[in-house]
């Protein structure tokens, strides 16, 4: 038989049977203490001592109340609202209402049964404000006690395929999101509790759920062992949801610490290798690594990821892909520029961001030097302003990495603008639209360099 603390404190027959065995009573106390310790900031030994003292102090009261028939029972011919109203008119003692609820739970042997029985009572609370709150608070306490236990927790969530599904269901209950797809396969108790949390009826339960969330987040297990990419996606989604719901019962500092620890565990060589598996080429590997940053929490983790990106860029395969790989030089330069732009927009620490941007720029310069692509643009008998415009378009249209590559194109453009031919063309009234476009592109390059 499964027992919760409220039953030990309000059922003389239960205490007597447990006390007679001695070992069973201590075992029950131990289980209660362990369940409490998982969500409260206290040691098991301290909680055992407190519970033993509480039980001993309550025994004489329970036995006396039973002998004098002071403890009310639950009349089977009345609904819970009527029972509460009748009791509230005579005595507003929480002790007596708890005795009624405990009596109602006598036939329920499992945590699953107790959970559903108490939730059923919560569907039938008095309408008047004072008796409603009187009953609501006690129902909340009973449900909180049940889900503190592992078996009660399992009864609430049902069977979950992995830690990720456990956290998804917990998060939906905490948010009061009864209609969430994550609860589709969960027991009805999960949906009912989410609905009541959304209605503001179960504040104590929500606190227990928050404590459970943090405990589960701190577990070393993977969220989704079957797929690192799904793991990354799930980690980001959970972080977004939980940070939005952070508050006194779910402190933002504790959440950050938990997500930083999880982010750190993503950055093992084994997990990175799994993340990059089945990439089409080194360019896609770089892209996956760079995009991982937005899913990480903590500056140190982002620094570590930057190291993986630098290592990938310096690899022989990556260098060969961009220097001798397929596609035209400008296509390879544009691909590098897009990756560099993602780094610059990302949340990497300032030093690491600058180093990565410079690394992309350096690789871009190697492509320019080996392919002589800018020399090809400069060749020919086109007007100086047209050549200047071509260089600036390369630098501003995402074709060249920010840094030395863009600066080289800018310098070449300026040489043409300041050449004798360029000055002569600029003096022509018809060149004004070209000059305005050139001036606009120079402003864009200046802004790019400042951002990098």
pLDDT digits (tens, 9 = 90+) for 421-448: 989 988 988 889 889 999 999 888 888 7
Q: How confident is the model at residue 38 (pLDDT cuts 50, 70, 90)?
A: low
Domain-embedded: residue 394 = yes
Q: How confident is the model at residue 196 (pLDDT cuts 50, 70, 90)?
A: very high
CA distance 224 to 263: 14
Number of H helices, E strands in the chain: 25, 0
Mapped onto helix, strand or coil, the DSSP state of residue 222 is coil
Task: Give 61-69's long-range contacts (Cβ < 8 A, gap of 24+).
Answer: 62/9, 62/10, 62/11, 62/12, 62/15, 63/12, 66/12
Domain-embedded: residue 405 = yes
Domain-embedded: residue 437 = yes
The residue among 434 and 35 whose pLDDT is bigger is 434
Domain-embedded: residue 245 = no
Q: What is the radius of gyration, based on Cα positions, of the chain?
A: 34
Domain count, the chain: 1
Angle between helices 111-122 and 94-104 (to 10 degrees): 120
Domain-embedded: residue 445 = yes
The average pLDDT across 8-34 equals 67
pLDDT at 282 over 70: yes
Domain coverage including residue 414: 381-452
And the tokens for 217?
Answer: 């987040």
Domain-embedded: residue 423 = yes
Specify whether the CB–CB gap between 377 and 387 falls below 8 A: yes
Please choose, from the candidates 373, 282, 379, the residue with its C-alpha nearest in 3D space to the C-alpha of residue 330: 373
How much is the pTM?
0.80
Q: Which pLDDT belongs to residue 443?
A: 87
CA-CA distances (angstroms) from residue 277 to 165, 227, 274, 284, 320?
24, 11, 5, 10, 19
Domain-embedded: residue 430 = yes
- Percentage of the chain surpassing pLDDT 70? 90
CA distance 337 to 9: 69
| Residues 6 or more apart in contact with residue 23 via CB below 8 angstroms | none
Domain-embedded: residue 408 = yes
Q: What is the DSSP secondary structure assignment for residue 224, as one 8-state letter?
A: -
- Percentage of the chain surpassing pLDDT 90? 67
Q: Which pLDDT belongs to residue 125?
A: 96
Q: Which pLDDT belongs to residue 264?
A: 96
pLDDT at 324 over 70: yes
Cα 346 off chain centre by: 18
CA-CA distances (angstroms) from residue 190 to 162, 213, 219, 223?
17, 14, 22, 20
Q: Which pLDDT belongs to residue 91?
A: 84
């Amino acid at each position: 038989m499964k027992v919760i603390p409220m039953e030990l404190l309000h059922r003389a027959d239960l205490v007597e049977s447990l006390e007679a065995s001695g070992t069973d009573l201590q075992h029950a106390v131990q289980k209660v203490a362990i369940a409490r310790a998982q969500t409260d900031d206290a040691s098991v030994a301290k909680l055992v001592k407190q519970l033993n003292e509480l039980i001993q102090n309550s025994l004489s009261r329970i036995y006396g109340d039973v002998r004098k028939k002071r403890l009310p029972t639950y009349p089977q011919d009345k609904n819970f609202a009527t029972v509460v109203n009748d009791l509230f008119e005579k005595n507003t003692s929480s002790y007596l209402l708890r005795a009624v609820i405990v009596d109602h739970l006598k036939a329920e042997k499992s945590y699953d049964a107790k959970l559903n029985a108490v939730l059923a009572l919560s569907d039938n609370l008095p309408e008047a404000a004072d008796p409603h709150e009187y009953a609501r608070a006690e129902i909340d306490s009973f449900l909180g006690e049940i889900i503190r236990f592992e078996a009660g927790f399992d009864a609430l969530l049902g069977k979950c395929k992995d830690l990720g599904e456990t956290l998804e269901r917990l998060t939906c209950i905490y948010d009061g999101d009864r209609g969430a797809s994550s609860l589709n396969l969960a027991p009805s108790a999960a949906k009912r509790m989410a609905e009541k949390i959304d209605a503001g009826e179960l504040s104590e339960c929500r606190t227990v759920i928050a404590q459970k969330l943090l405990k589960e987040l701190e577990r070393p297990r993977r969220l989704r062992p079957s797929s690192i990419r799904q793991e990354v996606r799930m980690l980001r989604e959970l972080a977004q949801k939980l940070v939005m719901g952070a508050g006194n019962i779910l402190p933002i500092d504790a959440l950050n610490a938990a997500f930083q620890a999880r982010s750190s565990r993503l950055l093992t060589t084994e997990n990175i290798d799994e993340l990059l598996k089945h990439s089409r080429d080194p360019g896609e590997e770089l892209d996956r690594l760079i995009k991982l940053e937005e899913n990480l929490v903590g500056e140190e983790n982002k620094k570590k990821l930057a190291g993986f990106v630098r290592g990938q860029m310096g690899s022989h395969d990556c260098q060969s892909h961009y220097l001798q790989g397929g596609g035209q030089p400008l296509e390879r330069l544009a691909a590098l520029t897009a990756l560099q732009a993602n780094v610059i927009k990302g949340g990497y620490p300032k030093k690491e961001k600058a180093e990565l941007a410079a690394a992309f720029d350096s690789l871009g310069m190697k492509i320019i030097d080996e392919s002589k692509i800018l020399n090809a643009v400069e060749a020919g008998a086109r007007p100086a302003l047209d050549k200047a415009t071509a260089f600036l378009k390369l630098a501003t249209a995402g074709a060249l990495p920010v840094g030395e590559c863009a600066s080289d194109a800018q310098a070449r453009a300026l040489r043409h603008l300041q050449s004798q031919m360029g000055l002569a063309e600029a003096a022509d009234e018809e060149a004004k639209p070209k000059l305005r476009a050139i001036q606009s592109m120079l402003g864009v390059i200046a802004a790019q360099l400042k951002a990098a």
